[in-house]
């Protein structure tokens, strides 16, 4: 069992003892999945896709820059090896695009001033040697491979998407790990063809193989001239990761980018890009050289689990609705205070919503598409450990509760303000009005003055967005998962 999906099992395998204790049954009833081939399924899938795209278009008009932290269900091909038990983590960034200014260097991204509708996808994978992540140039290609929702997904379609990913530069200038070369040669493939073949459903065209859950976070500052400041900071951080991996791959004393299931996995770039602007807490990654047992053990309590990071991003964005906790968070996180000072941005804000994207079920003859949301909870971990001991001594297996985080996440999905932008903005309008009544904002300190100016600007912006929605109302089902 693996923590994140990986092409190289040995670099991502959780120790067996931990795997047994953490999750006994993540993928639900894969064997019961039948090939969905009715016209009704095709029509339903098409309708869902159209509603999702309409919701995206509306959101894009309201928020010019945003970040999506996404987690996926696990990877189960009909023929081939299963992926990691905890799925995969990717990110989508609206307002950024591929930087083609250095065609012979590592993949890089930039602020996309000439195309405000641009949304790119970014994925990290274990087989990469000289980069940390790769770029998919559009949201549709990242999530769907541009494949219609009401068309079958067959082996021939898979081959076409593989060729399409290579033509569009998903693996441009990317070198795979040296040990992958033998497997590629055995299959009669180049290394890039090998990466594209095994990357479908992980690095691009995700919903052909998986369901996807995302938290969408606006990256729009209130400071004049620095509205795109948070976006620029995220871009700079991610570019640095690829530059560092590129340099390490070209240094004889280093081993290139070293994916590691605990210390540097598929979700660390997402978590740490958001930590860079003060939203979530930073996950420590590997130090130069081999990963030691001490490093692994010391970081077991700070996993970067895809679903955990996705949901943490959401909770950190909505949990602080009073002045005192907001001030405390700003003082405890230097990155958060820097984002407020430099760009007029804080993570607690209007516009943060959850999004659920179903997998491609219509005549999918390549992948199982059962939904499995895999959170890690230490409460569950220790409960299962005690239950296991109890069962060994008594022969009785006690009933276990549903996973705490999963239950909490599913409850959030039922709230209109979590999935509908109009309900979200109305709620935050009330929150901003209440926050601005707090007398602490008038004590004269710099931090309270900055926060008060920010809240006034956010209230005005939220009122403006609500006024725009009155002339262009949303359809609730277009946003609700």
Please indicate, yes or no, if residue 4 is contained in any of the structural domains. no
68 and 171 together in one domain: yes
200 and 259 together in one domain: yes
Q: Would you call 33 exposed, middle or buried from its count of C-beta atoms within 10 A (0-12, 13-18, 19+)?
A: middle
Q: Which residue, of 394, 409, 424, is where some domain finishes?
A: 409
Crossing angle of the two packed helices 268-276 and 306-318, in degrees rounded to 10 = 20
Handedness of CA 164, 167, 172, 175 (dihedral sign): positive
Q: What is the pTM of this model?
A: 0.87
CA dist 165 and 7 (Å) reads 17
Task: From residue 42, give the alpha-carbon distance in Å to each of 96, 452, 478.
Answer: 33, 50, 18
99 and 239 together in one domain: yes
Q: What is the DSSP letter of 347?
A: S
91 and 197 together in one domain: yes
Contacts of 441 (CB under 8 A, 6+ apart): 323, 435, 448, 449, 451, 452, 455
223 and 273 together in one domain: yes
382 and 265 together in one domain: no
- 95 neighbors 219 (Cβ within 8 angstroms): yes
CA dist 347 and 329 (Å) reads 10
Q: What is the DSSP letter of 308?
A: H
3-state secondary structure of 283: coil
87 and 125 together in one domain: yes
The pLDDT profile of the chain, 481 residues, written as one tens digit per residue, is 455 765 444 344 334 333 333 333 343 344 334 446 788 989 999 999 999 999 999 999 999 999 999 999 999 999 888 887 789 999 999 999 999 998 999 999 999 999 989 999 999 999 999 999 999 999 999 999 999 999 999 999 999 999 999 999 999 999 998 888 888 989 999 999 999 999 999 999 999 999 999 999 999 999 999 999 999 999 999 999 999 999 999 887 677 888 887 788 999 999 999 999 999 999 887 654 555 555 555 544 567 889 999 999 999 999 999 999 999 999 999 999 999 999 999 999 999 999 999 999 999 999 988 767 877 765 555 556 566 665 666 665 554 444 778 889 999 999 999 999 999 999 999 999 999 999 999 998 999 999 999 999 999 999 999 999 988 766 554 444 4
Domain that holds residue 391: 377-409
- 311 neighbors 409 (Cβ within 8 angstroms): yes
Please indicate, yes or no, if residue 1 is contained in any of the structural domains. no
The terminus-to-terminus CA distance of the chain in angstroms comes to: 29
253 and 225 together in one domain: yes
- 346 neighbors 306 (Cβ within 8 angstroms): no
261 and 398 together in one domain: no
Structural domains of the chain, count: 2
């Amino acid at each position: 069992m693996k923590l994140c999906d990986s092409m190289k099992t040995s670099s991502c395998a959780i120790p067996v003892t931990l795997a047994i204790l953490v999750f006994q049954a993540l993928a639900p009833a894969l064997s019961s999945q039948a090939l969905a081939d009715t016209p009704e399924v095709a029509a339903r899938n098409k309708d869902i896709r159209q509603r999702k795209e309409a919701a995206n278009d509306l959101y894009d008009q309201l928020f010019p820059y945003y970040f999506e932290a996404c987690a996926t269900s696990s990877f189960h091909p009909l023929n081939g090896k299963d992926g990691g038990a905890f799925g995969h983590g990717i990110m989508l960034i609206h307002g950024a695009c591929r930087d083609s200014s250095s065609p012979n260097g590592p993949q890089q991204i930039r602020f996309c001033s000439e195309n405000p509708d641009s949304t790119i996808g970014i994925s990290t994978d274990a087989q990469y040697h000289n980069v940390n992540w790769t770029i998919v140039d559009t949201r549709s290609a990242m999530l769907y491979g541009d494949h219609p929702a009401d068309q079958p997904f067959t082996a021939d379609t898979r081959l076409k998407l593989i060729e399409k990913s290579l033509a569009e530069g998903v693996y441009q200038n990317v070198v795979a790990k040296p040990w992958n070369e033998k497997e590629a040669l055995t299959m009669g493939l180049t290394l890039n063809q090998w990466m594209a073949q095994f990357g479908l459903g992980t690095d691009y065209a995700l919903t052909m193989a998986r369901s996807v859950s995302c938290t969408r976070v606006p990256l729009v500052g209130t400071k004049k001239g620095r509205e795109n400041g948070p976006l620029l900071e995220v871009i700079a951080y991610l570019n640095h990761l690829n530059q560092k991996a590129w340099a390490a791959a070209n240094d004889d004393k280093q081993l290139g980018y070293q994916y590691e299931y605990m210390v540097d996995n598929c979700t660390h770039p997402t978590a740490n890009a958001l930590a860079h602007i003060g939203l979530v807490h930073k996950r420590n990654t590997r130090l130069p050289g081999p990963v030691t047992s001490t490093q692994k053990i010391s970081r077991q309590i700070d996993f970067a689990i895809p679903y955990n990071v996705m949901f943490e991003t959401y909770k950190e964005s909505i949990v602080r609705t009073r002045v005192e906790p907001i001030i405390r968070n700003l003082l405890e996180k230097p990155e958060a205070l820097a984002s407020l000072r430099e760009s007029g941005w804080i993570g607690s804000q209007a516009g943060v919503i959850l999004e659920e994207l179903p997998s491609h079920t219509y005549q999918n003859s390549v992948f199982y598409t059962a939904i499995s949301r895999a959170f890690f909870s230490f409460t569950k971990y220790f409960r299962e450990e005690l239950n296991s001991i109890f069962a060994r001594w008594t022969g009785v297996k006690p009933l276990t509760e549903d996973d705490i985080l999963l239950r909490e996440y599913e409850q959030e999905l039922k709230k209109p303000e979590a999935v509908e932008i109009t309900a979200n903005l109305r709620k935050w309008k009330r929150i901003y009005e209440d926050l601005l009544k707090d007398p602490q904002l008038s004590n004269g300190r710099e931090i309270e003055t900055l926060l008060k100016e920010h809240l006034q600007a956010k209230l005005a912006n939220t009122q403006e967005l609500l006024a725009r929605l009155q002339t262009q109302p949303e359809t609730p089902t277009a946003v609700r998962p």
